């Protein structure tokens, strides 16, 4: 499958997706979003891919946000449709069943920040800046920013960032819990690969169900969330990988997980 606005390659067990509109700082337009969606469709269908790293081309930006020229042509009806489509694509990333790491290599604003928040984990280069600056343009976040940001940093901080449009440094993003790790820019991709390889060495079914339990459980009250966890615990108890993992621990050897 060919792409024009992203690159997609598989390195070992890692699927690498690179937003590739460097002249506009990898701004998101409809066509780019659809290519991201198609790439994740390939990821989900390829059993050889254990996880994904998504990053931006060039040294300045992960993604500077939405394509303003395209955005300004939205009617009210088209605005709803655009937001719903973008939200659906990011939700697919969030629940794709494989760990996804955003390697944030520079500016990460608006839709770019929303894309990063839909990933499982986020690693930022030390020169990165993040934010939801939509109010500066007289609009609001439309790809989930008003929902995911409070879940990551808390309601008060999220409201401050959203209604002031303030950009924050990578270090502040780390302090607030928006990113998991900050590294020097030359080390960014190596750090993302190291983290993803660590995760992919674990039981793949267990990793998938952990991600599902957290994401779906966040939308439930505690009692229903605990029930979800119990049901998924039952699912994992039926797997070959659970038996292998427990036996390997008792036999003091590395586990050989089979995703079964």
| Residue-range domains of the chain with CATH | 6-200 (3.90.226.10), 204-250 (1.10.12.10)
pLDDT at 73 over 90: no
pTM attached to this predicted model: 0.95
Mean pLDDT of 122-143: 96
pLDDT at 70 over 90: no
- Write out pLDDT tens, residues 219-255: 999 999 999 999 999 999 999 999 999 999 999 999 9
- 209 and 232 in contact (C-beta within 8 Å)? yes
Mean pLDDT of 120-142: 97
Chain mean pLDDT for the chain: 95
In the residue annotation, 251 being an active-site residue is answered as: no
Edge-to-edge strands, sheet with 181-183: 6-11, 14-19, 51-56, 100-104, 121-125, 181-183
What pLDDT does residue 66 have?
A: 86
pLDDT at 149 over 90: yes
| Distance (Å, whole) CA 188 – CA 123 | 7
What pLDDT does residue 74 have?
A: 81
**Residue 8 binned pLDDT confidence (cut-offs 50, 70, 90):** very high
Instruction: Spot the catalytic one: 35, 94, 134, 193.
Output: 134
- Write out pLDDT tens, residues 9-66: 999 999 999 999 999 999 999 999 999 999 999 999 999 999 999 999 988 999 999 8
Q: Which two tokens stand for residue 163?
A: 């209604």
pLDDT at 1 over 80: no
In the residue annotation, 194 being an active-site residue is answered as: no
Instruction: Spot the catalytic one: 35, 94, 114, 193.
Output: 114
Q: Where are the beta strands (DSSP E) in 152-257?
A: 168-169, 181-183
Closest of 3, 4, 98 to residue 53, by C-alpha = 98
| Distance (Å, whole) CA 18 – CA 30 | 16
- 15 and 1 in contact (C-beta within 8 Å)? no
Cα–Cα distances in angstroms (integers) from residue 201 to residues 65, 84, 95, 198, 252, in the given order: 33, 35, 20, 5, 16
What pLDDT does residue 72 have?
A: 82
- 108 and 116 in contact (C-beta within 8 Å)? yes
- Write out pLDDT tens, residues 155-208: 999 999 999 999 999 999 999 999 999 999 999 999 999 999 999 999 999 999
């Amino acid at each position: 499958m060919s792409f024009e606005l992203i690159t997609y390659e598989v390195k070992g067990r890692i699927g690498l997706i690179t937003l590739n509109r460097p002249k506009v700082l990898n701004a998101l337009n409809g066509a780019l979003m659809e290519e991201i969606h198609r790439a994740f469709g390939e990821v989900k269908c390829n059993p050889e891919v254990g996880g994904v790293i998504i990053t931006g081309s060039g040294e300045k930006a992960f993604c500077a946000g939405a394509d303003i020229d395209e955005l300004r042509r939205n009617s009210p009806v088209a605005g709803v449709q655009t937001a719903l489509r973008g939200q659906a694509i990011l939700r697919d990333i969030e629940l794709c069943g494989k760990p996804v790491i955003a390697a944030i290599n520079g500016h990460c604003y608006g839709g770019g920040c929303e894309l990063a928040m839909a990933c499982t984990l986020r690693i930022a280069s030390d020169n990165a800046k993040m934010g939801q600056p939509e109010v500066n343009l007289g609009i609001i976040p439309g790809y989930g920013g008003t929902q995911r940001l409070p879940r990551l940093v808390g309601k008060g901080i999220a409201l401050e960032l959203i209604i002031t449009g303030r950009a924050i440094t990578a270090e502040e993003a780390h302090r607030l819990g928006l990113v998991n790790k900050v590294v020097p820019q030359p080390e960014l991709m190596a750090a993302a690969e190291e983290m993803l390889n660590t995760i992919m060495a674990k039981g793949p079914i267990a990793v998938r169900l952990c991600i599902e339990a957290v994401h779906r459980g966040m939308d439930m009250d505690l009692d229903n969330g605990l029930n979800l966890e119990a049901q998924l615990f039952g699912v994992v108890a039926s797997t070959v990988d659970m038996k292998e993992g427990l036996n390997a621990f008792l036999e003091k050897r590395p586990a050989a997980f089979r995703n079964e």
